[in-house]
Amino acid sequence: MATTVSPTADVNFGNRDKINWITLVAMVIFHVLAVAAFFYTTWSAVVVALVLHWICVGFGIGLGYHRLHTHRSYKTPKLLDYFFAVCGTLTLEGGPIFWVAVHRIHHQKSDQPGDPHTPREGAWWAHMLWVMFGDALHGNTEVMGKYAPDLMKDKFYRVLTTYHWVPLTVLGLILLAIGGIPWVLWGIFLRVVVGLHVTWLVNSATHMWGSRRFETSDDSKNSFWVALITFGEGWHNNHHAHPRSARHGMVWSEIDITWMHLCIMKKVGLAWDIVVPTQSQIERKEIDVEEAAA
Ligand SMILES: [Zn+2]
Ligand SMILES: [Zn+2]
């Protein structure tokens, strides 16, 4: 049974006895309204959803939560760092401290006991059920913070994690005011559901299906189709082998849109100290997982 988690206790993600009601109800509402969006289709609503998908998943998750906030694969001006964190909250995947903590635990315990989302506990568990069960920690910044002490030092991340749902609510009201119901259904509900599922595919599909470039201790795979819909996050075996690398697609044919974003940012001076393994490091897999997560 669930117990109160103290800041020193391990987080119990796998507690299947306890339903995370807030998340479950939110997911049901979002999925129902995502389907409803198809009855309110306008061209402008579709464009709004596509642009927001690019900003929220491409910038918020790929450039922000994952490669910047979790792995610190590059440096960028603080304002842009914060902007990416706000974009990340617009995916409804929790605030930056929650996301980073969960993902660092995933790297530390990949496909082992304690991994928040491993297909070894079931494909649907790894894909989406893991967020609906276990201790409701999305808003518990203090508990999750011990896994992201670097982010905990910054009040902006702490407040944003506790109130991670606020930017999405504000965005929804703005869309309602400008474009009415179609913009809200497409730009918030359908777009969030699609964003959730493509992100979740990295946890489920790329730990089950695809090819392996590196002999890692986990089940991670490289998946071309997941990479295409996640802005490059599908080169997941490359990523587990070289977690600090800002580049996940290791060769030109491994399309990695987030890496393309970074190349543009570097050109205009918005990204520097970009971590990329050398050829010999790729061959010897010298980038350390624990070091990257520390
Ligand atoms: Zn993984
Ligand atoms: Zn990672």
| Residue 37 Cα to ligand 2 middle (Å) | 32
Query: pLDDT band for position 18 (50/70/90)?
Result: confident
Tell me the pLDDT tens digit for each residue of 245-264: 999 999 899 999 999 999 99
- Asked, for residue 41, whether it belongs to a domain, the answer is yes
- Asked, for residue 258, whether it belongs to a domain, the answer is yes
| Residue 210 Cα to ligand 1 middle (Å) | 13
pLDDT at 6 over 50: no
| Residue 56 Cα to ligand 2 middle (Å) | 17
Q: From the CA of 245, which ligand is nearest?
A: 2
Q: From the CA of 61, which ligand is nearest?
A: 2
- Asked, for residue 1, whether it belongs to a domain, the answer is no
Residue 45 domain boundaries: 32-293
pLDDT at 8 over 80: no
Between 205 and 7, the higher pLDDT residue: 205
Tell me the pLDDT tens digit for each residue of 51-109: 999 999 999 999 999 999 999 999 999 999 999 999 999 999 999 999 999 999 999 99
| Residue 179 Cα to ligand 2 middle (Å) | 36
pLDDT at 291 over 70: no
pLDDT at 110 over 50: yes
Stated pTM of the model: 0.91
Q: From the CA of 204, which ligand is nearest?
A: 1
Query: pLDDT band for position 203 (50/70/90)?
Result: very high
Per-residue confidence (pLDDT) for residue 143, from 0 to 100: 77
Alpha helix segments (H runs only) across 113-270: 123-127, 141-145, 149-152, 155-162, 166-184, 191-203, 224-229, 236-241, 257-267
Q: From the CA of 117, which ligand is nearest?
A: 1
- Asked, for residue 123, whether it belongs to a domain, the answer is yes
pLDDT at 40 over 80: yes
Q: From the CA of 109, which ligand is nearest?
A: 1
The label of the residue with tokens 């991994």 reads: 115
- Asked, for residue 25, whether it belongs to a domain, the answer is no
- Asked, for residue 274, whether it belongs to a domain, the answer is yes
- Asked, for residue 242, whether it belongs to a domain, the answer is yes
Q: From the CA of 116, which ligand is nearest?
A: 1
| Residue 62 Cα to ligand 2 middle (Å) | 10
SS (H, E, C) 109-125: CCCCCCCCCCHHHCHHH
Domain total in the chain:
1
pLDDT at 30 over 70: yes
- Asked, for residue 9, whether it belongs to a domain, the answer is no
| Residue 148 Cα to ligand 2 middle (Å) | 14
What's the whole-number mean pLDDT along residues 12-20? 76
Query: pLDDT band for position 279 (50/70/90)?
Result: confident
Three-class SS state of 256: coil
Query: What percent of the chain has pLDDT above 70?
Result: 90
Q: From the CA of 220, which ligand is nearest?
A: 1
What's the whole-number mean pLDDT along residues 28-52? 98
Work out the angle between the directed axes of helices 155-162 and 78-89 (0-180°, nearest 10): 10
Give the whole-angstrom CA distance, residue 167 versus residue 178. 17
| Residue 136 Cα to ligand 2 middle (Å) | 22
Tell me the pLDDT tens digit for each residue of 172-200: 999 999 999 999 999 999 999 999 999 99
| Residue 3 Cα to ligand 1 middle (Å) | 28
Per-residue confidence (pLDDT) for residue 63, from 0 to 100: 98
